[in-house]
Amino acid sequence: MPDTTVAFIGLGTMGRPMAERLLAAGHRLTVHDRLTGATAALAAAGAATAPSAREAASGAAVVITMLPNGPHVREALTGPDGALAAMRPGAVLVDMSTIDPSTSKEMAALAERHGVRMLDAPVSGSSAGAVEGTLTVMVGGDPGTLDELRPLLGELGRTVVHCGPNGAGVSVKLANQIIAGASMAAVAESYALAQRLGVDPRLLFDVVSASSGDCWALRTRPPVPGVLPTSPADDGFRPGFKGALMCKDLDLALATAADWSVDLPVTMHARDLYARMSEEGLGERDFSAVFALLSKQG
């Protein structure tokens, strides 16, 4: 799109490296975050900063939000200093947060009333993918609007997929999180048992990654140090994706499933494990630190 003036709202673990990629790609960027320290690094790299979401969005062709949950998105868009009131007709709002589909659809309807087009575009791939630009972007909304933004979203993700109308992107993301959260818990359990039985953790990785138990959680996050140098376990479980956020996402999946009378027993058990992480002070660590609960280490 010819006008690449972008406002980026939310500079957390994922948002900051995503904003940095857009800035490095030459987009004119204005950033906002409640924590002023989060904007300082972007300002040093050449981004403009704004004291509110409303001021960040003023004049921008594209406004991107990357926030922790639905209430944060609602406040950033519709609060007293919300972005929607300042967005010009024809601008595009891209919410890349992981929130519930009903809130996402509501925000899309409000955006339409302001003459603004909205895409819900949550991502998968953790903070490493945000840094490297290899995220998967799951998009709900008008396909023509997505086509306009593909070059911009392509700076953030290697795979950009149109999932359907507004709300479809976050729906696919919640389904993905069920698999990611449950499989990580299963990998942690397998390592807890193997450890007790005296199995070499590297051997377990080599065998299972070539067997029917192979999965993304195993290949990126074996939960024992010394197996894979890039695993969070080799860096004190420094988060690529926090356990508290996995708990939040599974809560969203369970609440959405309840609305549609769908029973998710495995998701419920996985959610309880990630909730225990926070109870035991591990919620800010990578979600693979669920292993610490099962191995009684950490």
What positions carry a catalytic annotation? Answer: 173
Could you give the maximum distance between any two Cα atoms of the chain, in Å? 63
Distance, C-alpha 69 to centroid of its chain: 10
Three-state DSSP at 64 gives strand
Three-state DSSP at 93 gives strand
Q: Which phi and psi (to 5°) does residue 165 adopt? A: -70, 180
Helix (H) or strand (E) holding 63: strand 62-65
Whole-number Å distance between alpha carbons of 39 and 44:
9
DSSP secondary structure string, 103-121? HHHHHHHHHHHTT-EEEE-
C-beta separation of 204 from 193 below 8 A:
no
Residue listed under structure tokens 């956020």: 245
**Length in residues, the chain:** 298
CA distances from 74 to 84, 100, 103, 142, 247 (A): 10, 12, 8, 21, 20
Whole-number Å distance between alpha carbons of 193 and 125:
27
C-beta separation of 169 from 146 below 8 A:
no
Query: What is the DSSP code (8-state) at residue 61?
Result: S
